[in-house]
Amino acid sequence: MLIQRFKSKIHRAVVTEANLHYVGSITIDEDLMDASHIQEGERVQIVNNNNGERLETYVIAGERGSGVICLNGAAARKVEVGDIVIIISYGWMTPEEAKNFEPTTIYPQDNNRID
């Protein structure tokens, strides 16, 4: 049996864009993706601290060093530029693997930069 477990998180990033007329997803700065071990195409959950919305979508790589956090398509209706979001990824693992797994959490600073 496999269980789904918290794998990684970008904690309290600021939404920089919302693009309703895009084909869906979330665009994330590649520096944030690398630091959080989130891959392009990976399924993520987005929690909006400002309004309580929760949604799931997949990741598109954004320009490295840009600080971009852009909700695209229908997800753009769930945020406003300036909202604080938490982006969470999960992984499937055996219960034994889960006991020893250490998730990754990053805390972006001003302009969604990591130090």
**Contact by Cβ (8 Å): 87, 42:** no
User: Active site includes 22?
Assistant: no
* Catalytic residue, candidates 22, 36, 58, 89: 58
CA distance 33 to 27: 10
* Catalytic residue, candidates 25, 36, 66, 89: 25
Q: What is the DSSP string of 4-29?
A: EEEEEEEEEEEP-EEETTSSSEEEEE
Question: Can you count the helices (H) and strands (E) in the chain?
Answer: 2, 8
User: Active site includes 58?
Assistant: yes
Catalytic sites, residue numbers = 25, 58
